[in-house]
Amino acid sequence: VIAVIPVRGGALPLGADEAIAECGGHVLLIGESCRTAAAAIAARTHSVRVTEVGSFAPAGWAEALASIVAEHAIVLFPASPDGRDLAPHLAHALGRPLWAGAARVTPDEIVASRHGGRALLTAPVDEPIVATLIPGVRAVETAAGKLEPTIDELPLAIPTRPAASVVGLLRPLGATMDLADAPRIVAGGAGLGSEETFGRLADLAGRLDASVGATRVVVDRGWTPHSRQIGTTGAVVAPELYLAFGISGAVQHLSGVEPATHTIAVNLDPSCPMMTAADLAVVSDAPAVLEALIEELATPAPREASPHA
C-alpha cells in the first residue's frame, strides 16, 4: 500500500495527512519542492520518497509513475482536486480499476462513499487497485517526539505530452469552490435574518479566502443554491476553520461538518448545539458581528510604532 501525494509549490493538498496515515506512513511525494512538503509530514512517517518533476502534468506523471508503483497492490491518492485528476490517469496506465471516494482502505477491504455520501459500499480488495481517499474521514496520529524521516530522491523522467499542457492556473473563488475542498468556510443560517444579510457572507469569505456554506433552511428559502448546503442532504465538509453565523446546529447540519474542524459560532442562544460544539462561542447578534468583521478585515493592519516616534 502506498500513498502518492501530488505537491504544488511545496504545499501538501487537502487530505494528504489522512492518505499517508491510511497507508501506514508509506508515501511518495511527486511535484514541485517536495522536500519542503516532506518537512510538513515529518511527524507522520519514518521515510519519504520524493520525486521532483515540476508542475502538474497528470498524463505524463501517470505514465512515469506506473512503473514505480506497480509493485504496490493499493495506490492511494487524497481525493483533492489534483489527486482526483491523477488517479484515473494512473489507473488507466496500470490497467487497474479505480475506486474513487473511499472512506476506508485496508489491504483486504475498501469502504467507498456512494450517492453523495448517503451510502457506504464495502467490497473486498481481491485485485490491485488505485483509490482516492475523501478528506476528513479519519483522524491522524502525530508521533510524540519529532521523527527525522529519511528522504530518498527518486529520479523520474516525465514523458512530454504536448496534447495536454497547463496553460494557466486560476485561484479558486470562495463563492464557487467545491465546499468539500474548502480549507475555510463561513456559513450562515436562519439567524442571519434575510437574503441580503446572507449575501454579506460572500464579502467576509472574500476577505478570509473562504468558501460560503449554508443550512437547509437558508437553501429552502432560496437565499443560495443547494450546492452551498452543508449536512446530511448536502455536502460533507472538513475545513480547518468553520465560522457559523446564526446556525442552530441541528444534527442534520452538524453531521456534515467533520469533528476535526476549528469552529467559531455566533448565536444569541448560548446553549444551542452549534454553540456547544464550537471551540469559540460568541453570544451576539450574528448580522452585527458579520458587519463588524467585514469592516475590521477591510481596514489595513496598523503599522508597528516606530521607536523614534
Ligand X SMILES: Cc1cc2nc3c(=O)[nH]c(=O)nc-3n(C[C@H](O)[C@H](O)[C@H](O)COP(=O)(O)OP(=O)(O)OC[C@H]3O[C@@H](n4cnc5c(N)ncnc54)[C@H](O)[C@@H]3O)c2cc1C
Residue 238 to residues 86, 138, 179: CA-CA distances in angstroms? 22, 10, 9
Choice between 33 and 255, CB closer to ligand X: 255
Per rule CB under 6 A, is residue 269 in the interface with ligand X?
Answer: yes
Strand order in the sheet with 262-267: 211-214, 184-188, 241-245, 262-267, 280-283
261 binds ligand X (CB under 6 A): no
Question: Toward ligand X, which CB reaches closer, 29 or 278?
Answer: 278
What is the edge-to-edge ordering of all strands in the sheet holding 129-133? Answer: 119-124, 109-114, 98-105, 129-133, 74-78, 2-7, 27-31, 47-52, 150-153
Encoded amino acid at 8, one letter: R
CA distances from 56 to 9, 79, 169 (A): 10, 16, 10
Q: Does 292 bind ligand X (CB under 6 A)?
A: no
| C-alpha cell belonging to residue 140 | 491522524
Q: Please identify, among the stretches 72-80, 121-129, 136-144, 225-233, the one whose residues bind ligand X according to the rule CB under 6 A.
A: 225-233
Q: Which window, 46-54, 55-63, 89-97, 228-236, contacts ligand X (CB under 6 A)? A: 228-236
Cell of 29: 511525494
Residue (15 or 246) nearer to ligand X, CB: 246
In angstroms, give the least distance from the CB of 272 to ligand X.
4
Segment near ligand X (CB under 6 A); pick from 3-11, 48-56, 93-101, 229-237: 229-237
Mark the segment that binds ligand X (CB under 6 A) among 71-79, 167-175, 197-205, 263-271.
263-271
Q: How many CB atoms lie within 10 A of CB 248?
A: 19
216 binds ligand X (CB under 6 A): yes
Residue 83 binds ligand X (CB under 6 A): no
Instruction: Kindly state the smallest distance separating residue 308's Cβ from ligand X, in Å.
Output: 46
**Which of 128, 123, 126, 127 lies closest to 111, judged by CA?**
123
Site stretch for ligand X (CB under 6 A), options 26-34, 67-75, 162-170, 264-272: 264-272
Residues with Cβ within 8 Å of residue 120, at least 6 apart in sequence: 103, 111, 112, 113, 114
Residue 218 interacts with ligand X (CB under 6 A)? yes
C-beta of residue 56 within 8 angstroms of C-beta of residue 6: yes
- CB-nearer residue toward ligand X: 12 or 237: 237
* Cβ-contact 22, 76 below 8 angstroms: yes
Size of residue set near ligand X by CB under 6 A: 27
CB 136 to ligand X: min, Å: 16
Q: Which is nearer to ligand X, 141 or 220 (CB)?
A: 220
Q: How far is CA 133 from the centre of its chain?
A: 11
Which residues, 176 to 195, sit near ligand X by CB under 6 A? 189-191
Does 250 participate in binding ligand X (rule CB under 6 A)? Answer: yes
Which residues contact ligand X by CB under 6 A? 189-191, 215-218, 229-234, 246-248, 250, 252-253, 256, 266-269, 272, 285-286
